[in-house]
Amino acid sequence: MTEEVSAQAPELARPHVIRQDWRDLSFLHWAVDPREIARFFPPGTRPDTFEGLTYVGLVPFRLVDSGLLQGPPVPWLGTFLETNIRLYSVDTTGRRGVVFLSLDADRVAVVATARSTFGLPYRWARMRHEQRGDLHTYTSTLRWPRTTASSTVVTRIGRRLEPGPLEHFLTARWGLHVARAGRTWYLPNEHPAWVLREAALERFEDNGLLASVGLGELSKRPPDHLAFSDGVPARFGRPTLASTPRPPVQR
């Protein structure tokens, strides 16, 4: 049975491994037929759906004060910019999550470590975020072998958005699925419930970013859903195999 969508994170099992703050996030989402993107999912997972559709997300943001929860500070973590392209997954145990097709960041040490340690598809990019009043501008240009891509996203932020079932489906995700060493793993996280705001897309230029992950057709139409959040603090636990049974629900 697929776990219920909940805005409240399940308790994160100890030990907690990594802490970081996610700030100034713009959520751009395209609705797609799950059959069109099923090929992107790791073994043992499938597209998660809402009213028969699944979604592709493009999320630029600032990642602040990243570090390990145990031990001395790690200088190469810290603060950096990121833009990710993500899908929404469910595994054979019914556990919901996120599958990342790309995570572009402007700190090369983070890219190298995340790729080698967790198998996440990080890529090095030159990035910039600027805020002027209620406008947020994010620019990114890949600095990655054999890939040419760039993007500009400008969002205008509005009033507080009362989240409904779709907003919770898109943002209340308590872990990620990733293929690593011939197996599919689940990396859990927790954070406070999102506080969302309305957002309008003032400008979107995709020069190969969506195409770089095999989804270039989406750049021909505007996103179906937009939202913004000032951010949340997050923590990650240890990864487990995605086939590991979910713990019983505490009631």
Domain assignment of residue 10, yes or no: no
Q: How many domains does the chain have?
A: 1
CATH of the domain at 188: 2.40.400.10
Domain assignment of residue 3, yes or no: no
Tokens 């043992």 correspond to 44
Indicate left, alpha or beta for 110 from its phi (over 0: left) and psi (-120 to 50: alpha). alpha
User: Mapping DSSP to helix (H, G, I), strand (E, B) and coil, where does residue 111 land?
Assistant: helix
Number of Cβ within a 10 Å radius of residue 26:
23
Domain assignment of residue 194, yes or no: yes
> For position 14, what pLDDT does the model report?
83
- What global pTM score does this model have? 0.94
Domain assignment of residue 6, yes or no: no
Q: Which of 15, 36, 55, 43 is nearest to 173 (CA)?
A: 55
* pLDDT one digit per residue (tens) for the chain, 251 residues: 889 999 999 988 888 878 889 999 999 999 999 999 999 999 999 999 999 999 999 999 999 877 776 655 565 567 899 999 999 999 999 999 999 999 999 999 889 888 888 899 999 999 999 999 999 999 999 999 989 999 999 999 999 999 999 999 999 999 999 999 899 999 999 999 999 999 999 999 999 999 999 999 999 999 999 999 999 999 999 999 999 988 765 54
Q: How far apart are CA 164 and CA 192, in angstroms?
A: 17
Q: How far apart are CA 195 and CA 163, in angstroms?
A: 8
Domain assignment of residue 246, yes or no: no
Domain assignment of residue 134, yes or no: yes
> For position 251, what pLDDT does the model report?
45
Domain assignment of residue 4, yes or no: no
Residue 182 lies in domain = 18-241
DSSP state of 5: P
Q: How far apart are CA 247 and CA 114, in angstroms?
A: 27
* Beta strands 225-237 and 150-161, pairing class: unpaired
- What radius of gyration, in Å, describes the C-alpha atoms of the chain? 17
Domain assignment of residue 251, yes or no: no
